[in-house]
Each structure stands twice: as C-alpha cells, then as structure tokens.
Amino acid sequence: MLADSMTQNLSTEAPSRSLVPTPSPSRSLSWRVASNLFVSFRYAWAGLSYAFQTQRNFRIHLVIGTTALLLSVLLGLSRVEIAIIGLTSGVVLTMELLNTAIESVVDLTVRQTYHELAKIAKDCAAGAVLISAFAAVIVAGSLLLPPLLELVRSTIVLP
C-alpha cells in the first residue's frame, strides 16, 4: 500500500480528482489575518522593521538610495530624474525584502540541513538583488555624474 502511494506520487500522470484538495473559502488555517487596513499596514511595517534590524544589506541599500536621492535634489536634477532614482532605489529595497522573505521560508523548510534546491532558491534571490543594485548604480551614475562633474569643474579653478 505504501509502495503504491509512493509510486503514484512519483508518476508523471496527472493525479486523480480525489487526491487534489479543493480550496476552501474558509481561512481557518490562516493566522493573524488583518482585520482592517490599519492592521495590514502594521504587519507591513513589522516586515520593514525586521529587515532594517536584521539585514545589513537592507540598511546599506537604504543609506545609498537615500544619499542618491539627496544628492539628486542638491544637484538640481529634474523631477523626472529624481523620480527615476527613487524608483530604482525602491526596486532594490523591494528585491532585498523579497530576498529576505525567500531566505526565511527556505530556512523554515529545510531547517538545519543542506539541500541543493534550497541553495538554488537563495542564490537566485540574492542574484535578483544584485542585478537590481547594478541597474540602480547605472541609472544613478548616468543621472548624477554629469552634474556632479560639472560642479567639481566649476569649483576647482584650473590654471
């Protein structure tokens, strides 16, 4: 009997209807369901606080993004350019939050054991953060460097 169920789980055939659970409209298995919008925002803030307190890279990205935004305002970039820098910085922070969530779920699933698929999931999530950070550097560099170099040229009097 056990061998039959194991064989059935390994089969490439579609499972029979009786094995597929039907979704229930009841959320009895959910916990801490937000009862209103304020509670939802409180949960979101808890996630941001957790990331800020525990994730070094989140703090680094936050400082760099804030610095880029402040520099763009000080250099007099247009509103569109400031918005682009803000959006790319926001994407990096969002990717960092998703990376943290994926790592937490993977750690919960595999616990203290090594699993190649867990490594792949965590590495891919980290790679997504890396790509978004590179894109943000390219965007911020292309928008900030020209006015920054012009400022340096105008303040340094060359003989």
Point out the residues that are catalytic.
96
Give the residue carrying structure tokens 């305002």. 73
Distance CA 146, CA 91 (A): 23
Give the residue carrying structure tokens 């012009």. 150
Q: Which residues lie below 8 Å from residue 25, measured CB to CB, with a gap of 6+? A: none
SS3 115: coil
DSSP code, position 20: S
